[in-house]
Chain A
C-alpha cells in the first residue's frame, strides 16, 4: 500500500478552495473568491500570495472606475499541481490501486 505525499501548498482548506474555483473558470476577481470561500479579506490575501509565490496562480492588479481590482488566474504549474494533488488524494481513498 503506497500513499503519495500531499502537496502542503494545496493541502490547506482555503488555498485548495481558491485553486478549485480557479480551475473551473478562466479568471476570477478577489471579490468572487471571497464570496465563494466565505473567507476574510486578510486571510484570503495571505493565501493568494502563498499560491502566487508557489507559481500556482497569476495575480494581476488593476484599477476599474477608480477601484482596485485583483484578478487571479491559475497557471500551467497550478493545473499540474492540482492534478497531482487529486491523484495523491485518490491513493488515500483507494489504497493499493495506484
Chain B
C-alpha cells in the first residue's frame, strides 16, 4: 500500500522507489485467479461419460452407448457463456491466464482434428492412447505456467495411462479414461478451488 502522506513527486528516495516497485509487482504476481471450476466441470463430465459408457456396454443397455458423449457439446456451449461472463467480471487479465487459454485452445483444436482424422482413417484402436496423451499435454503445461504441481503430476499420469492403454484392448480402456480425469482434472480442480478460496476468501 502507498503512504498517502508522501504522494508528491521527488518526495521519496530511490530505495523507496525500488521497494514500491517490488511490492506492487509481488501483489500482481501472487494473485491467483484460477478457481478450478472448468477443471471440475470437465473432469466430472468425462468421468460420468466414460463410466456411463462402460456400464451401458457391460449391461447392454443401449444400441448406441456412445451417445452419452453427446453431452460434452452441452458443456462446450456452457463453457463459452461461462468464459464470456468471467471475462466481464474479471478486474485484471494476466499474461499467464492468456497463455493458459491458448494452450487449452490448441488442445481443443487438436482434439477436433484427431477425432476427424481417426474417423476418416478408421484407426479407432489408436483413439484412447491418443486421447490420454492429449489430456496430459495441456494439463502439464498449465501446471508449469501456473506453477501448480498437482496439474503437472496429473499430466504425467495421463501419459503413463496412455502407454498402459495400448495393451488394454477391452472396454476397460474406458475406465482408464476415468482414472486419467480424476488424476488430471478432478483432484487438481478441488486443490485449485481450495487455493483460490484461501487467497481470495
A residues near B, CB below 8 A?
6, 8, 11-14, 16-17, 20-21, 23-29, 31-32, 35-39, 43, 64-65, 85-86, 89, 92-93
Pick from A8, A37, A65, A85 the residue with the most CB of B within 10 Å: A37
A29 touches B9 (CB 8 A): no
A37 touches B17 (CB 8 A): no
Q: Which of B123-175 contact A (CB under 8 A)?
A: none
A24 touches B7 (CB 8 A): no
B9 touches A23 (CB 8 A): no
Q: Which residues of B contact A43 (CB under 8 A)?
A: 7
Decide yes or no whether B14 CB sits under 8 A from chain A: yes
- Given known A20-B25, A28-B92, A64-B88, contact A11–B17 (CB-CB < 8 A): yes
Q: Which residues of A contact B27 (CB under 8 A)?
A: 21, 36
Q: Would you give the 0/1 interface string for B1-12, flagging 1 where the beta carbon is closer than 8 Å to chain A?
A: 111101111111
A13 touches B25 (CB 8 A): no
Question: In the assembly, what is the distance between CA of A86 and CA of B92, in Å?
Answer: 24
A8 touches B9 (CB 8 A): yes
Question: In the assembly, what is the distance between CA of A17 and CA of B7, in Å?
Answer: 11
A25 touches B2 (CB 8 A): no
What is the chain B residue whose CB lies nearest that of A36? B27
Question: In the assembly, what is the distance between CA of A48 and CA of B196, in Å?
Answer: 30
Question: In the assembly, what is the distance between CA of A86 and CA of B33, in Å?
Answer: 28
Count class of interface residues, chain B: 20 to 34
Q: Which residues of B contact A12 (CB under 8 A)?
A: 7-9
Main secondary structure of the interface of A (DSSP, over half): helix
Decide yes or no whether B121 CB sits under 8 A from chain A: no
What is the chain A residue whose CB lies nearest that of B16? A13
- Given known A26-B94, A93-B18, contact A20–B24 (CB-CB < 8 A): yes
Q: Which residues of B contact A14 (CB under 8 A)?
A: 2, 7
Q: Which of B10, B24, B97 contacts A21 (CB 8 A)?
A: B24
What is the chain B residue whose CB lies nearest that of A67? B88
A29 touches B91 (CB 8 A): yes
- Given known A12-B7, A17-B24, contact A29–B88 (CB-CB < 8 A): no
A89 touches B7 (CB 8 A): no
B88 touches A25 (CB 8 A): no
- Given known A20-B24, A21-B27, A24-B29, contact A32–B14 (CB-CB < 8 A): no
Q: Which of B18, B28, B91 contacts A24 (CB 8 A)?
A: B28
Besides the known contacts A28-B28, A89-B14, A93-B15, 20 further A-B residue pairs in the complex with CB atoms under 8 A apart: A11-B17, A12-B7, A13-B7, A14-B2, A14-B7, A16-B17, A17-B2, A21-B27, A24-B24, A24-B29, A24-B94, A25-B93, A26-B93, A28-B91, A28-B92, A32-B91, A36-B24, A65-B88, A86-B18, A86-B21
